[in-house]
Amino acid sequence: MLFFKKSTPDPECLNYEKTKASGDYKCGDVLERLRNDFANKCYLCGTKNPISLNVEHFRPHKSNIDLKFGWKNLFWACVHCNSTKGDGFVDIIDCTDINQNIENRLKLIIKPFPKEIPIIEALDSESTTISTKKLLDLIYNGSTPLKEIESANLRDEILKDIVEFQQYLFEYTKDSNTKELKLIMLEKIKSHLSKKSSFTSFKRWIIRDNAGLKFLEEYFD
């Protein structure tokens, strides 16, 4: 998970829809702004350009009108993550609050080999950190037989992305490669480290954990 800054001001249509008996929080430019704010990624699993989407209520609204139509409470999530989270996780890290320092509270690792399982490590003992770790464990491993299949498909996508990123790192650090090729590889690496890329957190932790690659942290946005 990464920090994403929500745009301001709040979409004007939300206050209007809030007054209606059957108001729609997906009104006006809400969808377009959420897509842009979250770089068209699921804020939980990190999937880029997800095929199936939900506008998620970060805090379950449970018919609370302010939570249902509150701009700060609307997030961009894939169906797998949204349904896994449900109403059962009300105390997780808010990735739109820069003060919650999300990237330094959870460590996400996956080894670039077939059938590997993501390891989610809590880096502090805060209740929100522990709760977020539990949610991510369910997202990446499944909570029901059907979701286990969904999670396996998700892990396959993560591994494909990590293997590609790993190859760019190998080519960039290979002494025998030309300067021109290294520059091409560096651009690809920078693209993978951008928060607009898929599964960025896993790739950034590869960099953080490797003393010889830590200089690439300057490309974290």
Confirm if 98 and 44 have CB atoms less than 8 A apart: no
User: What's the mean pLDDT in 172-182?
Assistant: 94
pLDDT tens-place string over residues 89-135: 999 999 999 999 999 999 999 999 999 999 999 999 999 999 999 99
- C-alpha 120/C-alpha 135 separation (Å) is 10
pLDDT tens-place string over residues 143-176: 899 999 999 999 999 999 999 999 999 999 999 9
Would you mind telling me the total number of residues written for the chain in this entry? 221
The SS3 assignment for 107 reads strand
pLDDT tens-place string over residues 30-39: 999 999 999 9
Phi-psi region of 11 (alpha: psi -120 to 50; beta: other; left: phi over 0): beta
Spatial neighbors of 64 by CB under 8 A, at least 6 apart, are none
Buried b (16+ CB within 10 A) or exposed e, 17-30: beeeeebebebeeb
- C-alpha 45/C-alpha 65 separation (Å) is 28
> What is the number of other CB atoms lying within 10 angstroms of the CB of residue 160?
13
Give the pTM: 0.94
63 pLDDT higher than 90 = no
Confirm if 117 and 141 have CB atoms less than 8 A apart: yes
Measured CA to CA in angstroms, residue 87 lies from 29, 82, 91 at distances of 26, 9, 10
Confirm if 7 and 35 have CB atoms less than 8 A apart: no
- C-alpha 167/C-alpha 80 separation (Å) is 29
